[in-house]
Structure 1
Amino acid sequence: MQSLTQADLIRILVKRKWWIVVSIAMCVLMAYGVWKILPKTYKSTVIVTIDSPKVAKDYVKGLGGAEGRGFEDPATIAMQQVTIGLTNKSVLLPIIENLKPYPDSRDETAESMMNRLRKAVTVAKPKDGVGIAISFQHFDPHLAQAAAALLAAKLQEDNAKRREGLIETTTEFLSTELKRMKGELEAKEQAISDFKKAHIGELPAQLEANLRTLDRLQADLTSSSESLNKAGERLTALDKAIRDLSDIGSTDLVPVDRNMRMGDTRPLDSRRVKLEELKHKLNELLGIYKESYPDVMHLREEIRLLESELRSVDGNQPDEDTGAAGQVESGGKSVRKGSDPFLKELMKERNEVKGEIAFLKEKQVNAVRQIKEFEGHVQRTPAAEQGLAILVRDYENLQKGYQTLLDKRTNARIVENYESRQFGEQYRIIEPANLPIREEPPTIVHFLLGGLVLGCVFGLGGVIGVELLKSGFRRPEEIETYLGLPVIASIPPFDARLAELDGARSRALLTGPKTDIGISERAPAYSSYGDGRKWRKSGLGKQSAAYTSLSQNNHLITKWWPHSIMAEQYRVASTRLLLMTAEKQNVVTLVASSVMGEGKTTTAVNIAYVLAHDLKKPTLLIDCDFKRPMVHEYVGISVEPGLSEAMQGKDILENCIHPYAGIPLSILPCGDPSNRPTSISGIQYMKQILPELRTRYDHVILDGPPVLTLADVNILSSVADRVIFVVRAGLTSQEMVRTGVKQLGVDGDGIGVVLTHVEMEFTPYLMYHSDYAAKNC
């Protein structure tokens, strides 16, 4: 695909102007026909508005209508509400059932007809900006008016039902959620209560009391240890004093138990010691806590039980004097009872000290046990605190959620009463549906303008697209840039008018201004390189005659139209060929192309004719295209004898070379069609006879076969001094041309390009040639 400059676009548009005009005319006519065929539509409009609530929103929260959506535009919200409401089935279905707007669609389902209705309904803001405009389009103006009015009425009814249903559903949902939330809240309260009972003494609120109790117990333990040490020292001193007194005086035997307590003394009971300790602890707790504190109540119960047990024991105890008369039990020992009152006093004091020691030891054991117990409470307090915090947090969250739901349900009940008394938003019709008179766009003006635009798009786009889609070269500069090869001539199309007019102008250019310039009646004009060429005979002054083409035996335009632009370009090519081979004599030139139909043979015969006729150079033209020989037809000679007869020995080579038109031009045709040689054998024979033929002529022109079709041309290019590569503009792709040039195997200095069928718009020097000649006519 090639790029086009601005100048190229202008030339293309001028060249294809009738194509564009026809495209525009056809599109405009088609648009008019479409407007006539399509049914006309009419639009009826009803304007509604949404009345604000009659109670301030600060007191009653509504249903989230246009008045309660934060910073959004109320008009935009209202438009959205109306648009959504008009798409409801409850609004559209009554229109289908009552008005039957689409009688031609009896087989359609209700859903498909509702979709058609939704497309026919439009919602917009009126021109004055007040309210909301609801429009309905239809082919019948009366039905459009009825449908628009029914839409507004059904919209009011549907809005009221929708709001009531929404309130009822909201209230029911909130009641269900409240019931569920209440059950969860009660379950969480029970869980907190059970947790506190299971962790009594370890709760965070009891931590401070536990720490104070630990301090007190630690002080009691220290005090008990000190008192126990002192009591032990006293007991040791009393034992020593009693032994000393017993050894001095005469005494009687008195039973003494294992604890060195005399037999006449009541034994010490540990329960009494524990009772005293519990009473002491109770006094301490009462100084800190109330009577209802669990530890205080527990201690009181223990003291009551212990006192009742001691009372029962005291009632069954025997007389104190019973054991004094007999012997002591087994395991005991006896001391001599002295009559000294001081000894008695010492023994009594010793017994008291022993009782005190036993009490202190019991107290110390109890203190250690309680310290361990309270230390355990303190250590387990963080874990209990964390567990309690989780429960309390969940409970508080549930409580907040419950309170929120409760507030919402209360508000929902208020809104239910609020809506039932029609204090909320209400749709109100401020302008009833009108009866449309004019049809809706697109009108005929729109269709015609659309056809005009479409015609311009198709015309311009088609013209430019055709040029862009051309894969070949369009101008000589592209070949020189893409291939790096020189272009020795640019041949325009063989158009009869171009040949006729430009032939006259070329004469004027060469000979000066002249009057009554004519062209020979025998000179035929050309329409193209290809097929379908017909004769046309005319003079310069006969402009109104019909232009026709010529037959294939008239491609020799340098002979029939020597003053045409095409002939002039062939003379340019021949002259440049002479300049390229000026330093060499007896030049062999191969004329080749990539594919068939590019003007290769036409170029060969015209260059050969110019070399012989205009430049007076002895020239031999050899037809080397054995598959499709055309030289004999283009120059109008017999096809035999030729190469095939000479190669097969049926005739000598001299007889096979045909002279032409009394000029130093000789032609060697291919020969008898039935006995033509194969490409390889014919080219090999050419390679043998070419050195001899080279010496006879200044120029030998070889019309070779297409390069991409046959590989035989490589042999010809190896024996040729110069190669003229023919390329048809706009036909042969650039890649094919590159491949063909590469396949020849010739360097850039030995090859020149002839670009055929070049549009006049892309060869400004030819336009200059034509304009200059016109001025001199």
Structure 2
Amino acid sequence: MFTGLSTPEEYFRAIKNHKWLIVIPIVVCVCVAALVCYWLPKSYRSSTLLYFQEQKVRGVKGVDAPESGGDTQRPDVAMGTRIDALREVLYKRELLTQVAEEFHLYGYDKNNAAPALDNSVASRLRSLVTIEPQVGGLLKVSFADAEPTIAKAVTARLADLFVQENTKSRNAIAESSTEFLQHEMDSLKGQLESKELAIAHFKQSHLGQLPEQMDSNMRAIDRLEGEVSAQQEMEKTLSLRLESVDKALREYEDPSSDVSPKRAEKDPRLVKIRELERTLAGFRSMYKETYPDVARVKNELSQLQAMTTDEYVALYIEPESSEPDGPKRVKRKQIDPYKSELIKQREDIVREVDLVHRRQARIAEDIRKYESRIQGTTVHQQELMSIQRDYENLQKNYQSLLEKKLAVGMAGNLEQKHQGTQMRIIEPAGLPSWPEKPNLIIVMFGGLAVGCALGFGSAFGIEMLRRGFVSAEEIEVTLGVPVFATISHFQSAWPGGAKLTAETARRKDRLLALPGFRKEGLLVANGGSSVGRGQVSVGPELVAMWYPRSVVAEQYRVAATRIGLMAGQQESTVIVMSSALMGEGKTSTALNLAHVFARDLNKKTVLVDCDLKRPMVHAYAGMELSVGLSEVLLGEKQFEECLEYHEQLGVWILPAGIIQSGIAALTHVDRLSKLINSLREKFECIVLDAPPLLPVAESLLIVRMADVVAHVIRARTTPRDAVMSALKMVGQERALGVILNGVEEQDSPYSYYSYGNKIYEPHRAQLR
């Protein structure tokens, strides 16, 4: 949807129509801007350039960090930091009041000035003195005053004082920084010593429970647990050995208690050898060959192997019998080395078991001790960490302060020997010749811009308010009414008509609408030649008849189709062609639609000219003015006597009549209603060409008799408020649609295709 001015021609036309509305605001605004520049107080600003001379001793870390080669700070950030420091120097109240007293600024006298006046003068000077960075490390200092000479003198004096104060302030800053850092270092040193004593006391009090001893305690517990496992294994081994020795003693002391008759027959020496072999195998599984028990058992085994059974029996066993016929009992001799050795082994094993138990008790006690240390470590770890963290922070702060003190000391030495960063004037203050305030160029251009905005804005705004609707989408969105069709200028369908401009097309449309334009002949479509009354009887406005294959005729067929769909299945439909004002193409649209209904849709159609004050149907149709609707409404004629059939159009026409007066329509509305009812019985489509709604009173009465109202709007011409008022008069009781007439080519939503613009054969000869 487009509602603004769309072509350069329309902008130029708006400027031409409202040229004085544009010129007067521009002239007035420029004059006002000139008066403002004349009456406003002037302010002149003088400026001087300062340059920072780099320090002569380079590569000193921490001294003049922005200039140091190893610094990674951004240049713009460093310059901003430097300017902030310089502002503190330049904006000091003492320096500013000194300048004000020297040049008698604002009537200031230091001897008679109160502290409030000093602050006021200093604040005023701060607002007028500016410090701005320039390209290449330069610094611009400027001052503004109503007198150019005062501005120059004050700027020069400020630059001198600035250089001096900058050097003094750098020295003072270095000295005060050194004192402050030394004081802070002494304070931190005392805190560090107290923290060191606290850490030493804590470690002494919780020896063995410190976090760094956690690993050693854990390893000690692991080692003790390994010893516990070894002692348990040893206890099991000793228990097995003790059981073995006890069993051997029992067997040795009572050999017949569990000896079967078969065993008694065995060789006692061999039994003893096997027993020693088992004992030796048990010792070898636990000890090495050099172990004393292993050597002893091996020695005894070798002795038994060297003996015979008789020797063994004679040496260690003697027979005795309790009954003559009873079994023989074996009695061992009291001096048996094997038994004494078993007893000794048992005593040694018992001592070893007792020793193992004592070792296990000691190991359990050590494990509990280390576990208590680990628990104490967990409890005291947080406290120790807190003390150590404070100590480390203090140590870092002390180291940082020490580095800063060294850097500040070197910076002070550089400043005292004039080897640090220095500032010098490279461009002295100049005498300003052009005022800073007000900015004459900006004020004058601002006045011109305001004038142009007011002038052109008013012109374009008025032109846009006077504009009508441009497209069908705009009408549907704005008015909420469907659009039947968009009809282009008739000249677009004529041969060569597409080359005409929009303004020429609208002028020709107005000429064709005048009733006195045709005298003896009618204007035809091929460039303005005329033919006689007997040759062509219909004007070129009947595009649907002359150029049925053109886009304009196709749009008329679209409109007729949509009107028929809106009317529904009625046997007879009354269609009222209405418009808000005159000259919108309502009559030509009615003639073309009537022709389309009759020829293309094959409906019996009648066209009634209801505009009794300015009838145009007979002129466009090429008919003589004769009796018609006026005579019917006045009762002088019957409508059958006034109806005329137009052969070329194929439409029945009821002209307005000879008596052209609106009184007939106003006083005989009931007869007009009866007439329409009579026409419904004879015709399928009844087209009423009603007068404009706004200037003619009876048009509203005619509209109320319609089934479908086709409201004609001329694109870009009919005012919007007029269209809205007319549609409000029509109301919503009946079907309503819009036909947008006179649409220009660039605004048409349809492509301008054609079928060769061929004319039907019966009309070709007439237009040659």
Q: TM-score, normalised by structure 1?
A: 0.51
Partner of 1:145: 152
1:547-586 equivalences in 2 (<5 Å): 574=587, 577-581=590-594
In the alignment, does 2:655 pair up with 1:666? Answer: no
Aligned mate of 2:207, from 171, 179, 196:
196
Amino acid paired to 2:704:
L
**Identical positions, percent:** 16
Q: Deviations over 1:621-663 (max 9, x none)?
A: 98xxxxxxxxxxxxxxxxxxx9xxx9xxxxx8779xxxxxxx9
Partner of 1:526: none
Partner of 1:125: 134
1:162 and 1:606 map into 2 onto residues whose CA distance is: 100
Partner of 2:42: 40
Amino acid paired to 1:34:
V
Q: Deviations over 1:363-386 (max 9, x none)?
A: 232111122234446767877777
1:219 and 1:432 map into 2 onto residues whose CA distance is: 97
Aligned mate of 2:356, from 342, 353, 364:
364
Shift of 1:439: 3.0
2:707 and 2:248 map into 1 onto residues whose CA distance is: 152
3-state secondary structure, aligned to 2:27: helix
Aligned mate of 2:706, from 696, 711, 718:
718
Going from structure 1 to structure 2, the CA distance change for 1:714 and 1:414 (only over 3 Å counts) comes to farther
8 A Cα contact 2:208 2:373, kept in partner: no
Q: Deviations over 1:272-318 (max 9, x none)?
A: xxxxxxxxxxxxxxxxxxxxxxxxxxxxxxxxxxxxxxxxxxxxxxx
Shift of 1:438: 3.6
Shift of 1:178: 5.7
3-state secondary structure, aligned to 2:706: helix
2:515 and 2:121 map into 1 onto residues whose CA distance is: 72
In the alignment, does 2:718 pair up with 1:729? Answer: yes
Partner of 2:640: none
Partner of 1:405: 397
Going from structure 1 to structure 2, the CA distance change for 1:729 and 1:510 (only over 3 Å counts) comes to same
Q: Deviations over 1:474-529 (max 9, x none)?
A: 6999879966254789999x99xx99xx999999x999xxxxxxxxxxxxxxxxxx
8 A Cα contact 2:468 2:719, kept in partner: yes
1:154-173 equivalences in 2 (<5 Å): 154=162, 157=165, 159-160=169-170
Aligned mate of 2:52, from 50, 65, 69:
50
1:741-760 equivalences in 2 (<5 Å): 743=732, 745=734
Q: Which runs of 5+ in 2 are unaligned?
A: 109-113, 255-333, 477-481, 491-501, 524-581, 599-603, 638-655, 749-768
8 A Cα contact 2:185 2:402, kept in partner: no
2:247 and 2:740 map into 1 onto residues whose CA distance is: 144
Aligned mate of 2:14, from 12, 15, 23:
12
Shift of 1:205: 3.1
8 A Cα contact 1:122 1:134, kept in partner: yes
1:518-537 equivalences in 2 (<5 Å): none
1:447-526 equivalences in 2 (<5 Å): 447-468=443-464, 472-473=468-469, 484-486=485-487
Aligned mate of 2:608, from 582, 588, 609:
588
Partner of 2:263: none
Amino acid paired to 1:9:
Y
3-state secondary structure, aligned to 2:46: strand
8 A Cα contact 2:174 2:408, kept in partner: no
2:742 and 2:348 map into 1 onto residues whose CA distance is: 140
2:70 and 2:221 map into 1 onto residues whose CA distance is: 57
Amino acid paired to 2:395:
Q
Aligned mate of 1:687, from 673, 687, 703:
673
1:126-525 equivalences in 2 (<5 Å): 129=136, 131-149=138-156, 151-152=158-159, 153-154=161-162, 157=165, 159-160=169-170, 180=191, 183-184=194-195, 186-198=197-209, 203-205=214-216, 360=352, 362-376=354-368, 400-421=392-413, 422=415, 424-440=420-436, 444-445=440-441, 447-468=443-464, 472-473=468-469, 484-486=485-487
1:719 and 1:241 map into 2 onto residues whose CA distance is: 143
Going from structure 1 to structure 2, the CA distance change for 1:37 and 1:229 (only over 3 Å counts) comes to same
Aligned mate of 1:26, from 25, 28, 35:
28
Shift of 1:2: 0.8
2:98 and 2:410 map into 1 onto residues whose CA distance is: 34
2:406 and 2:212 map into 1 onto residues whose CA distance is: 49
8 A Cα contact 2:133 2:139, kept in partner: yes
Q: Which runs of 5+ in 1 are unaligned?
A: 244-341, 512-568, 592-603, 623-641, 647-651, 656-662, 763-777
Partner of 1:617: 625
8 A Cα contact 2:475 2:483, kept in partner: yes
Going from structure 1 to structure 2, the CA distance change for 1:476 and 1:151 (only over 3 Å counts) comes to same
1:740 and 1:466 map into 2 onto residues whose CA distance is: 26
* Corresponding pairs, count: 538
Shift of 1:134: 1.5
Going from structure 1 to structure 2, the CA distance change for 1:391 and 1:35 (only over 3 Å counts) comes to same
8 A Cα contact 1:202 1:377, kept in partner: no
8 A Cα contact 1:725 1:754, kept in partner: yes
2:220 and 2:688 map into 1 onto residues whose CA distance is: 131
3-state secondary structure, aligned to 1:406: helix
1:24 and 1:503 map into 2 onto residues whose CA distance is: 46
1:72 and 1:200 map into 2 onto residues whose CA distance is: 42
Shift of 1:22: 3.9
1:352 and 1:459 map into 2 onto residues whose CA distance is: 136
